[in-house]
Amino acid sequence: MHQSELDTLDLAFIAVYGVIIVAIGVLTARRTHSGDDLFLAGRRLTWVPIGLSLFASNISSTTLIGLAGAAYVWGIAVANYEWMAAPILVLMALVLAPVYLRLRIGTVPEYLEHRFDARVRRYFSALTLFANIVVDTAGTLFAGAVVLTVFVPSLDLFTAALLLAAVAAAYTAAGGLAAVVYTDMLQAVILLVGAVLVTWLCFARLDFDWAGFVAATDPQKLSLFLPLDDPNLPWLGTLIGVPVLGFYFWCTNQFIVQRVLGARDIGHARRGLLLAGLLKLPVLFIMVLPGVLALAILPPLENGDQVYPALIAELLPAGLSGLILAALMAALMSSIDSTLNSASALLTLDFIKPMRPGLSPRALAWTGRAAIGLFMLLAAAIAPQIGRFEGLFHYLQTALSYLVPPVAAVFLLGVFSRRAGPFSALATLLGGHALSALLFALWLAGALDLHFTLVAGLLFAAAVLIFAVSARLYPAAAVRGDAIWQPALLRPEPRPALWWDYRLHAAVLLVLTLWLVWAFA
């Protein structure tokens, strides 16, 4: 299909997908009566839904659209954001997840109240709300709007974004996290099948001549590590900045961690996290490489974010185009529903419930549904403005590089340190974000020419220093022991079979990650 238009069979595939999503929302709504049901799926989630949902929610705008576009412009080094998820998810499974579940928290900021105090909780919750709407949800809506406007040129960006947001908000408000997770399971399968198919057809267009493609391609575009002066992703930024961004995303971001908080027990939470880490490794081959292969398949494109929709239009016949477009919509909807639900949980559980403790569970659920509608409108209004940036991926990572390093320092050090108290956490957040604001102002003025991953690394180092010095000068009077990680939390379930031991799974995942990095370094 060479035109940016949809065949009847394509529309049929998309319609069937839409009917299934609506059905899931209706069925899960019957079991959604309280805030716990809406935001945590009744804490009944098992490891397969958790892993697939983590993968599907993350894979949205930063992968099929943003990563493919970035790979088209500057090569496979963008996959560093993908493989880095594996060791970070191992850290989450071993350290933070058991602490979170032991405290039975409903939101990630709630952990900070247990560990520090309510002021720290509210500060981080407000920051997360801002990031969820302005960065995560708006970025995903922009990605979806780009796709829709390629295939339906009569739509403008705002209308397309509003349409996507309305659909996601409808089933999320009805079924809550359960609807999000179970639709994510379907979406993850469609995504994987669709991505493999697009990659296969890309190679088929090149007669499966990998050696010939390598010989005709700039070697730098096929290397994970770029020179220190590279404007896209210098190797030092990969080592000091990407882990900071990844730690925030996988370990402290409400819209991701919410699935872990809804786990049946720590065993299911850990295996779900490790499954998500395993699924992240093939992303290099099935979602990043097509962006580079497109250089030999497509005519030059002005905007890298158009690469994946253009590949669909170029390579796929009627019917299959609809299947892959449904997969693309699945990726986008998966992230939209996740961010809307998590933003609603933050507003309801971290602000409204403490102010109105007498609200009934049913009233709390309806308050959360109203919040989802409000956030849908806000994100849809912001999404079209992202087109002013150099690209979707650049927008997402730049915003996070200035926002999240102080947060990463507070969580990472706070979960281990018994000395630090509320003063250390607040000093780190306020001081770190004041420095972030200064650097961002310098960047806007053109006085700071530093890659955003290097900025993230430097801000994290500064935040660690503030945390350590303030903890020594103003040590905590008392700290809750169950909010601190302890080696005893590494114990697996009683007498598990060796093949079922999460520690073996974690070791295998780390070995596979090292092999991948070594092979493409």
pLDDT at 186: 75
- The string of pLDDT tens digits covering residues 305-317 is 778 878 877 887 7
pLDDT at 380: 73
pLDDT band at 138 (very low <50, low <70, confident <90, very high): confident
Whether residue 4 is predicted with pLDDT greater than 50 in this model: the reply is no
Whether residue 174 is predicted with pLDDT greater than 60 in this model: the reply is no
- The string of pLDDT tens digits covering residues 56-83 is 777 764 567 778 888 898 899 999 999 9
Q: Measured between alpha carbons, how far is 424 from 483 in angstroms, rounded to an integer?
A: 16
Contact between 120 and 113 (Cβ < 8 Å): yes
pLDDT band at 1 (very low <50, low <70, confident <90, very high): very low
pLDDT at 387: 60
Tell me the percentage of the chain whose pLDDT exceeds 90.
38
Q: Measured between alpha carbons, how far is 405 from 395 in angstroms, rounded to an integer?
A: 17
Q: Measured between alpha carbons, how far is 137 from 127 in angstroms, rounded to an integer?
A: 14
Contact between 121 and 112 (Cβ < 8 Å): yes
Whether residue 474 is predicted with pLDDT greater than 80 in this model: the reply is yes
Cα four-point dihedral sign 253, 255, 261, 264: negative
Domains of the chain, each with CATH number or no CATH:
8-520 (1.20.1730.10)
- The string of pLDDT tens digits covering residues 200-233 is 999 999 889 988 888 888 888 999 999 998 888 8
| pTM of structure | 0.82
pLDDT at 375: 73
Phi, psi of 167 (to 5 degrees): -65, -50
- The string of pLDDT tens digits covering residues 325-365 is 766 666 666 666 666 666 777 777 777 878 787 777 677 66
Whether residue 390 is predicted with pLDDT greater than 70 in this model: the reply is no
Whether residue 39 is predicted with pLDDT greater than 70 in this model: the reply is no
- How high is the mean pLDDT of the chain? 82
Q: Measured between alpha carbons, how far is 163 from 169 in angstroms, rounded to an integer?
A: 10
Residues 6+ positions from 95 with CB-CB distance below 8 Å:
415, 485, 489
pLDDT band at 119 (very low <50, low <70, confident <90, very high): very high
pLDDT at 3: 43
pLDDT at 335: 66
Length of the chain: 521
- The string of pLDDT tens digits covering residues 416-447 is 999 999 999 999 999 999 999 999 899 888 88
Whether residue 168 is predicted with pLDDT greater than 80 in this model: the reply is no
HEC assignment per residue over 263-308: ECCHHHHHHHHHHHHHHHCCHHHHHHHHHHHHHHCCCCCCCHHHHH
Contact between 319 and 9 (Cβ < 8 Å): yes
What amino acid is encoded at 351 in this protein? F
Residues 6+ positions from 487 with CB-CB distance below 8 Å:
none
Residue 66, helix vs strand vs coil: helix
Residue 45, helix vs strand vs coil: strand
Segment holding 205, helix H or strand E:
helix 157-205
Alpha helices in 383-474 (DSSP H): 392-403, 405-414, 422-444, 452-473
Contact between 143 and 332 (Cβ < 8 Å): yes
What average pLDDT does range 291-318 have in this prediction?
82
Residue 234, helix vs strand vs coil: strand
